Amino acid sequence: MPTSFFDQLEEARAFYAQQVPSVIRANQFADALFHWLFPVSDCEGDLPVSAQQAILQSTLEQLLRPLASQLSASPEQVAGLFFDQLPKIHATLMEDASAFFRYDPAAVSVVEVLAAYPGFRAICIYRLAHQLHLQGVPLLPRLLSERVHGQTGIDIHPAASIGRSFFIDHGTGVVIGATTVIGNDVRIYQGVTLGALQVDKSLATTKRHPTIEDNCIIYANSTILGGSTVVGHDSVIGGNTWLTSSVPPYSVVIHQPQITVRSKPFEEPINFVI
């Protein structure tokens, strides 16, 4: 008798349960970990901080169990090392939050940044996912990064390397590829893409994305492509710029619009039909 569709789904469920962490639980873990690290966003918890940590660590161990055969240590050891690194990650994130307050004229306090800025939330989950990536954890870092991608519209691959005091203003549409390297004190605005010159599976293990050195500013909707493209330190990339080659330190790169002045006004009003 042929296998029914429902039997196939049951078999698929059993298979994935042994191979893939629960996406729903991973989403919940990402949110809960953010709120635990920065309780300004969820300050009404009934449990002590230490008890919350125990629950979060147990949740991470459960998420890691389907991946156990691909880990270099047991799920318990991997989760333990991850939580051991959290004080260092938290300190780095507070430097990021200070950068938001320092560079955004609209920010009235660091507390506002922690509670309300999507760019900061995206950086937070990136740094947590990146730590799991550094520990050799497959798949789960991507689940965490995709959670915050859906929440903020900011897509940072967990394998990217990003320095201290990183600032993303507004943020929607920002894309930072897997082999991107970003230095310290870099500022990025909405719609910026740090991507590859070509999409080719054979290049999966090569550096495909650009390097942004220290103290650079990249304004809105700029696109910088290529693994050999280096933006030298203390450079400014103006809005709507398309860059596929390196520029030296202290460069100012500006997209120059074409402006045409009419000789006389239009005789009739312009109707824009969408």
Question: Comparing C-alpha atoms, which of 252, 206, 258, 202 is closest to residue 227?
Answer: 206
- Ramachandran category for residue 139: left, alpha or beta (phi over 0 → left; psi -120 to 50 → alpha): left
Q: What is residue 17's predicted lDDT score, i.e. its pLDDT?
A: 84
In this structure, of 9-13, 46-50, 219-223, 252-256, the range with the lowest mean pLDDT score is: 46-50
Structurally, at CATH architecture level, domain 160-256 sits in 3 Solenoid (2.160)
In this structure, of 24-33, 172-181, 264-273, the range with the lowest mean pLDDT score is: 264-273
Domains 13-152 and 160-256 share a fold: no
Going by pLDDT thresholds of 50, 70 and 90, the confidence category of residue 262 is confident
More confident residue, 35 or 264: 35
Q: Rounded to the nearest 5°, which phi and psi values hold at 53?
A: -60, -45
Helix (H, G, I), strand (E, B) or coil at 171: coil
Q: How far apart are CA 5 and CA 36, in angstroms?
A: 42
Structurally, at CATH architecture level, domain 13-152 sits in Orthogonal Bundle (1.10)
Q: Rounded to the nearest 5°, which phi and psi values hold at 193?
A: -120, 125
pTM of the prediction? Answer: 0.91
More confident residue, 214 or 5: 214
Structural contact between residues 239 and 169, judged by C-beta atoms closer than 8 angstroms: no
DSSP character string of 176-245: E-TT-EE-SS-EE-TT-EEE-S---GGGTTS--S-EE-TT-EE-TT-EEE-TT-EE-TT-EE-TT-EE-S
Q: How far apart are CA 16 and CA 122, in angstroms?
A: 28
Q: How far apart are CA 197 and CA 52, in angstroms?
A: 44
Write out pLDDT tens, residues 63-96: 999 999 999 999 999 999 999 999 999 999 999 9
pLDDT at 274 over 50: no
Going by pLDDT thresholds of 50, 70 and 90, the confidence category of residue 267 is low
- Mean pLDDT score of the chain, rounded to an integer? 93
pLDDT at 129 over 50: yes
Q: Sketch the domain layout of the chain as residue ranges.
A: 13-152, 160-256
